[in-house]
Structures are given as structure tokens and as C-alpha cells.
Amino acid sequence: MTEIREYEEKYVDQISKLIIRNLKEINSKDYDKKQIDEMIESFKPKQLKETFKNREKVYMAIDNEEVLGTAGTDVSWYNKDENYILGVFVKPENHGNGIGRALINKVEQYIKQKKTNKVLVHASITAKDFYLKLGYSYKDGNTELTDINTYLLEKNLQKEIGDR
């Protein structure tokens, strides 16, 4: 049974392989080789360990000690009342099985308990529709790609709590 739990460093090699697989097999359809190669460098185990040490929170989806997905969050550099969702990846063969949704739900729960008002995500071209289905919208209505070839999407979590 798949469970969502906090990142443990002993899984960094599995997480790195999972992310690099996604970049090569999925994201490479929307980004050129140079961009993919640069991203791969930043997701090698050594770099990932350092990145995760500096993240506010990182979660993993695990089934029988096998990492099936990962997602994290960090406070915005620009506004302490906002958090970014970062590094969301699910093993390609597990896409469409609810693991990404479960990871995002866990990250959003964490952000909500901090009483943070807004969550943002730089969604890849590949992942944009996934986030739109989860209730995210284009920040300031801007549907154009950013200078880093992502869509900046947002969701107001406190409004969502009040609507229930």
C-alpha cells in the first residue's frame, strides 16, 4: 500500500533516478536536450541532498520501500505568505494512479496548517493540465510561458478552507 511520508535521505538515490527518468521520458517531449541535460545535473543524488536540506518540507510516496513519487514546498523568496510547490515527480508507469494528487494534497495540508494564504507552482508544459484539474489557475490570468518555460499557477488555500 502506498503511503505519503516525509523525505528520508536514505531514499535520495531512488528519488534521483525517478526524477531523471521523468525528465528523459516525459519532460523531454516539451523541452530541448540542453534544458533537460541542465535539469538532470541538478537532480543527481549529491545535488538533490543539498537541495532537500534547504527545502522547508519534502514528501515521498512509498510502497514496500520503493519510491513512487516526490513533492516538496518552500516559502516564497518574495512573500512569506506564499509557498511554492517544488519538485513534483511520479514514476512514469504510475502516472494517472492518484500518486501525484496524493502528494499535492499532503503538501497543501502542510501549507494550510501554517496558515499560508497562497500556493504557487512553476508547472512544466507537461504538468500544467494536472495542476489546472487540481484547482490551480494562471497567476494574474497570464497564460504565457515564463522565461524558464513554465506556467506560473496559483491557488488560494485559505479561501478554499472558508468555502467548505
Query: How far is C-alpha 114 from the chain's CA centre?
Result: 18
CA atoms lying within 13 Å on the CB side of residue 145: 10
Mind giving me the DSSP string for 70-96? EEEEEE-SS-TTEEEEEEEEE-GGGTT
pLDDT at 65 over 50: yes
Q: Which domains can be identified in the chain, with CATH numbers?
A: 3-162 (3.40.630.30)
Which of 116, 117, 86 minimizes the C-alpha distance to 104? 86
pLDDT at 161 over 50: no
Q: What whole-number distance in Å separates Cα of residue 4 and Cα of residue 61?
A: 5
Q: What whole-number distance in Å separates Cα of residue 62 and Cα of residue 163?
A: 32
Q: What is the mean pLDDT of residues 56-65?
A: 97
pLDDT at 92 over 90: yes
Confidence bin at 160 (pLDDT 50/70/90): low
The predicted-structure confidence for 114-141, as pLDDT tens digits, reads as follows 988 899 999 999 999 999 999 999 999 9
